[in-house]
Amino acid sequence: MQKLDTFELASGGLAPERSGEAMLPATRSAWLVEHLRQALLDGRYPPGSRLNEVHLSQELDVSRTPVRAALQTLAGEGLLHHQPNKGFTVREFLLTELVEAYDMRALAEGLAARFSAERGLSDDARRTIDAALSDGDRALSGSDDLEAQRAAYAQMNQAFHGAVHTAAKSDLVREVVRICQRVPQASAHNVVAFDLAGIRRRHDMHHAIYHAILAREPQEAERLMREHVVSVKISMIENIARRGR
Amino acid sequence: MQKLDTFELASGGLAPERSGEAMLPATRSAWLVEHLRQALLDGRYPPGSRLNEVHLSQELDVSRTPVRAALQTLAGEGLLHHQPNKGFTVREFLLTELVEAYDMRALAEGLAARFSAERGLSDDARRTIDAALSDGDRALSGSDDLEAQRAAYAQMNQAFHGAVHTAAKSDLVREVVRICQRVPQASAHNVVAFDLAGIRRRHDMHHAIYHAILAREPQEAERLMREHVVSVKISMIENIARRGR
DNA sequence: GCTACTCATATTGTACACATTTTTGATCAG
DNA sequence: CTGATCAAAAATGTGTACAATATGAGTAGC
């Protein structure tokens, strides 16, 4: 039978910083939800591992009650799995699910682009996207080393896609995208570790998508965004295959 | 744990029936999650209304602890909204979100059909869909009154779509569809209250989709399923507009 | 009459005690 | 050694007390 050993985070002063910081969540529960969600998305807890309520509460220096509250919320979000009388475990995602997440995300982000084109961009949104694209142009034309360019692109990429999601003004689309990015490795900052030529090509697609949205061409914007995400998917699959060898 | 039978014996009025049923959840929390989720999807709690923990626990005859557990889970699922120190409120969905839910669902169900066609149907799935479609044929060719035909079609419709979702073998797709159906009026049994001609037309589309899946034609299956859901969306919008007058 | 303040009440957040279930692992028969 | 048995230990589920916060009624001051 599978080992049900409880997973403990190597805790060297892991207890959360709670004093002197700005904009802290109002309650312990809310803080724990954010903290644990980030830890899970970062993969700091091994998939399938069991989260022991007592250990967590001791490590994080709160009682079991807010820990349970956070775990229940995260289970509702689908990041954790819950079995009655057996507790919470970190949800495992198969490789097939990663690929499916990209297929789904291509459709959801395509819809976001369609809605953005239909509804038009606010001045604020336009400024945000302009800035993101300019940052990308600058980063890719500069002579920084590859890693710096990748980092800059990653940040720009998130800003661009985030702005489109916001411009779509659809909570539903945002939620679906979030669900797709829940699968580890599917989040935006993990998908850019490819070759520079690919990054340039994808950046050009960003420009094209922006252009279609500005021109109020919903069908074209949706088509381009789908293509864009699918191309990221393909790159990622190639990347995994390359690493596999 | 405190005696569970205390609750069962004491349950006199508002408290839900729990004895004699098969497959009831192992814990109070799990039962509450199911009970409250169904109540919310049925619209038994007004959108925006506040859910008082003490009142709920009294009505349902449990302590606050499992009530809070259930509310936290449902908030994670997005059916409730939570504000620190102010409690849980029933999430409100705007009319635009209902329409968006259909757009998103068309894409998600289309993906389900694509995956089903790619992966092929199990004997079990084929039997299920065969039965559903035959039921539909029989109901629509019979001479029952309109309401009976609608009811039969509603049940068949759910069976058909459910079978396709299952055949897609993708948790992600299932989750996205669930999110789309979370919007009140978007669930399958609410969308069939249209004219008989429309029902017949949609039933024909079911046959066509099934045919494409059986023939292992992913693109065609996806295209047909999208058209199908969009046609339901349009009927629903017309229906709402008609009622609006 | 209106605003701002005060305090009583209601509601939510947290800790903890205890009941129940699961898991562990020591023991023993074969 | 293998597998079953069963009691101890550990972990989760639930109830409840109390703390922190929000709410609302009433009142003083203008």
- A140 CB within 8 Å of a chain B CB: no
- Domain limit, last residue, from A60, A92, A124: A92
At residue B9, the 3 state secondary structure works out as: helix
**A128 and A203 share a domain?**
yes
**A59 and A179 share a domain?**
no
**B72 and B104 share a domain?**
no
CATH (domain of B52): 1.10.10.10
User: What is the rounded CA–CA span in Å between residue B79 and residue B85?
Assistant: 19
- Domain limit, last residue, from B70, B90, B110: B90
Say yes or no: Cβ of A90 under 7 A from any atom of strand D: no
Q: Count of domains in chain A?
A: 2
- The string of DSSP letters for A194-222 reads S-HHHHHHHHHHHHHHHHHHHTT-HHHHH
**B44 and B107 share a domain?**
no
User: What is the rounded CA–CA span in Å between residue A135 and residue A148?
Assistant: 13
Taking CB atoms and an 8 Å limit, are B77 and A77 in contact across chains? yes
The pLDDT of residue A98: 92
**B74 and B147 share a domain?**
no
Of the candidates B73, B97, B107, the beta carbon closest to that of A72 is on B73
Quote the distance between the C-alpha of residue B182 and its chain's center.
7
Distance, Å, A3 CA → D2 C1': 20
* CA dihedral (A37, A43, A47, A49) positive or negative: negative
Say yes or no: Cβ of A105 under 7 A from any atom of strand D: no
The pLDDT of residue A190: 57
Within chain A, which residues score under 50 in pLDDT?
Answer: 1-21
At residue B52, the 3 state secondary structure works out as: coil
Distance, Å, B200 CA → D22 C1': 55
Mutate one of B28, B88, B94, B172 to test the A interface: name it (highest A CB count within 10 A): B172
CB atoms within 10 A of CB A162: 16
CATH (domain of A114): 1.20.120.530
**B74 and B136 share a domain?**
no
Q: Could you tell me if B237 and B99 are in contact, meaning their C-beta atoms sit under 8 angstroms apart? A: yes
**A79 and A107 share a domain?**
no
Tens of pLDDT, residue by residue, chain B (245 residues):
444 333 333 333 333 444 444 567 899 999 999 999 999 998 999 999 999 999 999 999 999 999 999 999 999 999 999 999 999 999 999 999 999 999 999 999 999 999 999 999 999 999 999 999 998 888 878 776 777 778 888 889 999 999 999 999 999 999 999 999 998 766 655 555 567 788 888 999 999 999 999 999 999 999 999 999 999 999 888 888 887 66
**B138 and B162 share a domain?**
yes
Amino acid identity for residue B224 in this structure: L
**B54 and B104 share a domain?**
no
Q: Could you tell me if A228 and A160 are in contact, meaning their C-beta atoms sit under 8 angstroms apart? A: no
Distance from CA of B192 to the nearest CA of A (A): 23
* B133-136 contacts at long range (C-beta below 8 A, 24 or more positions apart): B133/B160, B133/B203, B133/B206, B133/B207, B133/B210, B135/B159, B136/B160, B136/B203, B136/B206
Q: Could you tell me if A93 and A47 are in contact, meaning their C-beta atoms sit under 8 angstroms apart? A: yes
User: What is the rounded CA–CA span in Å between residue B106 and residue B236?
Assistant: 14
Q: Could you tell me if B150 and B203 are in contact, meaning their C-beta atoms sit under 8 angstroms apart? A: no
Taking CB atoms and an 8 Å limit, are A75 and B73 in contact across chains? yes
User: What is the rounded CA–CA span in Å between residue B30 and residue B7?
Assistant: 15
**B43 and B141 share a domain?**
no
**B235 and B131 share a domain?**
yes
Distance, Å, B86 CA → C7 C1': 20
Taking CB atoms and an 8 Å limit, are B115 and A100 in contact across chains? yes
Distance from CA of A60 to the nearest CA of B (A): 20
User: What is the rounded CA–CA span in Å between residue B65 and residue B14?
Assistant: 19
The pLDDT of residue A19: 41
Pair of tokens at residue B23: 């497959």
The pLDDT of residue A22: 53
Distance from CA of A115 to the nearest CA of B (A): 9
User: What is the rounded CA–CA span in Å between residue A242 and residue A236?
Assistant: 10
Q: Could you tell me if B69 and B124 are in contact, meaning their C-beta atoms sit under 8 angstroms apart? A: no
- Domain limit, last residue, from A92, A125, A160: A92
**B186 and B138 share a domain?**
yes
- List the one residue out of B116, B122, B135, B90 whose CA is nearest residue B210: B116
User: What is the rounded CA–CA span in Å between residue B172 and residue B184?
Assistant: 21
Residues ≥6 apart with Cβ < 8 Å to B83: B89
Helices (H), A14-121: 28-41, 53-60, 64-77, 95-119
User: Domain range for residue A30?
Assistant: 1-92
The pLDDT of residue A24: 72
User: What is the rounded CA–CA span in Å between residue B39 and residue B46?
Assistant: 10
Distance, Å, B88 CA → C8 C1': 24
